């Protein structure tokens, strides 16, 4: 961690802020799981989980990468527990093209 000076309410405060270190590359993964899986008839728990983990492998996901997963709330509700071991941000929305 690196301490940097950051302006706050007209004064400078020292705060510890995570700063990317040289030589450590991170990748941002934006995953619309519904589009990867396909038609709603294919949205079984087993199929969604298999497609998601296949994506991670094909995209060369590494611990430390930033991962955002989007889907409708119903699908995310079933998928969230299966993703709990992988640090990620879940985004849920309803409607066509909501992700």
pLDDT, tens digit only, all 99 positions of the chain = 444 454 455 454 444 444 454 557 889 999 999 899 988 888 888 999 899 999 999 999 998 899 999 999 988 888 888 888 888 999 998 887 765
Predicted pLDDT at 68? 95
Does the pTM surpass 0.75? The reply is: no
d(CA 13, CA 33): 41
CA distance 63 to 84: 14
CA dihedral over 11, 15, 18, 21, signed as positive or negative: positive
Residue 12 CA, distance from chain mean position = 32
CA gap 53, 90 in Å, rounded? 16
Residue 7's DSSP bridge partners are 12
What pLDDT is attached to residue 79? 83
pLDDT of residue 1: 47
CA atoms within 13 A on the CB side of 33: 33
- Position 23 scores a pLDDT of 59
Burial class (CB in 10 A: 0-12, 13-18, 19+), 37: buried
Tokens 């709330």 belong to: 73
């Amino acid at each position: 961690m690196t301490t940097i000076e950051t302006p706050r309410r007209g004064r400078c405060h020292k705060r510890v802020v995570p700063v990317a270190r040289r030589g450590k590359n991170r990748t941002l993964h934006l995953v619309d799981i519904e589009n990867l899986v396909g038609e709603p008839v294919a949205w079984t728990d087993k199929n969604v989980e298999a497609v998601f983990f296949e994506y991670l492998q094909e995209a060369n996901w590494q611990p430390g990468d930033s991962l955002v997963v989007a889907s409708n709330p119903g699908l995310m509700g079933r998928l969230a527990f299966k993703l709990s071991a992988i640090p990620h941000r879940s985004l849920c929305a309803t409607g066509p093209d909501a992700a």
